[in-house]
Amino acid sequence: MTALRETVATACRVLAREGLVSGILGHVSARTDDDELLIRCRGPQERGLRRSDPDEVWRVSTDARPVDLPDGFALPKEVHIHTALMRRRPEVGAVVHAHPPAALLYGLAGERVRPVIGAYNIPALRLALGGVPVYPRSVLISRPELGEELAEAMGSRDVCVMRGHGIAVTGETVEQAVVRAINLDVLLDLTVKLVALGVTPDAVPPTDLAELPDLGSAFNDQLVWRSLVAEVEAEDRVGLVS
Ligand SMILES: [Zn+2]
């Protein structure tokens, strides 16, 4: 469990470095068994997601009750995003909740993703082909019923835009959920920029789609994850983040 705590904290640092979360908003969780998960909490030494530490990652039951939370620490108010998805979907091993600016613009613009990029980012293309559901309410997911409502809107998809708020992303592993969240951000950012430019490119034709390999493997996610962690650690080493 120590290693998984470390991974959850590292995921928060990666998401902050990549601009998907800023300040103290956003969280990552990882399932430990059928009834429990680990989640990034807020503690007395809170310094923001970029400076997340394994000592800020604590156990919570899938019905959102703290298991071992020390005095001075608090579960995220939106823990229900994580617990609802994990209760409903046994295949989900990790959840990312972030507030990327592109997701905010995307939801407010009422746009829909389209499969217009190819080899530039194949996982983002696959997300576009599958569609990105939008949870239409802008509320804080602070109650179990709201978590259920979000999970319902998300259905069986691994990604969801929460209008006026952010994103929820699932994965079998923390690494997969983080890499998927970053690819979703690429897709949403591209979509809102195309709208701003006033252009509507043609979709990638089926003949080109047929040429693109499926990079959605756990192996590929691990490669990307390792490069993201290396960037964070390099910054930390030279003291850009203390
Ligand atoms: Zn939020």
Q: What is the pLDDT of residues 105-137, one digit of tens each?
A: 999 999 899 999 999 999 999 999 999 999 999
User: What tens digit of pLDDT does each residue of 70-97 get?
Assistant: 999 999 999 999 999 999 999 999 999 9
Q: In terms of residue numbers, what domain contains 109?
A: 2-235
In a domain, 93, yes or no: yes
Task: Report pLDDT for 138.
Answer: 95
User: What mean pLDDT is reported for the chain?
Assistant: 94
In a domain, 223, yes or no: yes
Q: How many angstroms does the Cα of residue 49 sit away from the middle of ligand 1?
A: 13
**Beta bridge partners of residue 60, listed in sequence order:** 37, 66
In a domain, 208, yes or no: yes
Single pTM value for the model: 0.95
Q: Any alpha helices (H) in the chain, and if so which ranges?
A: 2-17, 79-88, 101-109, 122-130, 144-154, 174-197, 206-209, 218-237
Q: How many angstroms does the Cα of residue 11 sit away from the middle of ligand 1?
A: 16
Task: Report pLDDT for 140.
Answer: 95
Residue 210 is part of a domain; what is its CATH number?
Answer: 3.40.225.10
Share of the chain above pLDDT 70, in %: 98
What is the C-alpha to C-alpha distance for residues 96 and 9, in angstroms, rounded to an integer? 12
The catalytic position among 18, 56, 78, 175 is 78
Query: Token pair of 134, please?
Result: 């939008």
User: What tens digit of pLDDT does each residue of 197-221 get?
Assistant: 999 999 999 999 998 887 667 778 8
Q: How many angstroms does the Cα of residue 207 sit away from the middle of ligand 1?
A: 40
| pLDDT reading at 11 higher than 80 | yes
Asked whether the beta carbons of 80 and 146 are under 8 A apart, the reply is yes
In a domain, 162, yes or no: yes
Q: In degrees, to the nearest 5, what angle opens at C-alpha 114 toward C-alphas 109 and 119?
A: 130
Q: How many angstroms does the Cα of residue 97 sit away from the middle of ligand 1?
A: 7
Query: Token pair of 58, please?
Result: 């604590």
Give the total number of structural domains in the chain: 1
In a domain, 142, yes or no: yes
Task: Report pLDDT for 242.
Answer: 58
User: What tens digit of pLDDT does each residue of 131-179 get?
Assistant: 999 999 999 999 999 999 999 999 999 999 999 999 999 999 999 999 9
Q: How many angstroms does the Cα of residue 139 sit away from the middle of ligand 1?
A: 9
In a domain, 240, yes or no: no
| Catalytic residue status for 78 | yes
In a domain, 16, yes or no: yes
In a domain, 242, yes or no: no
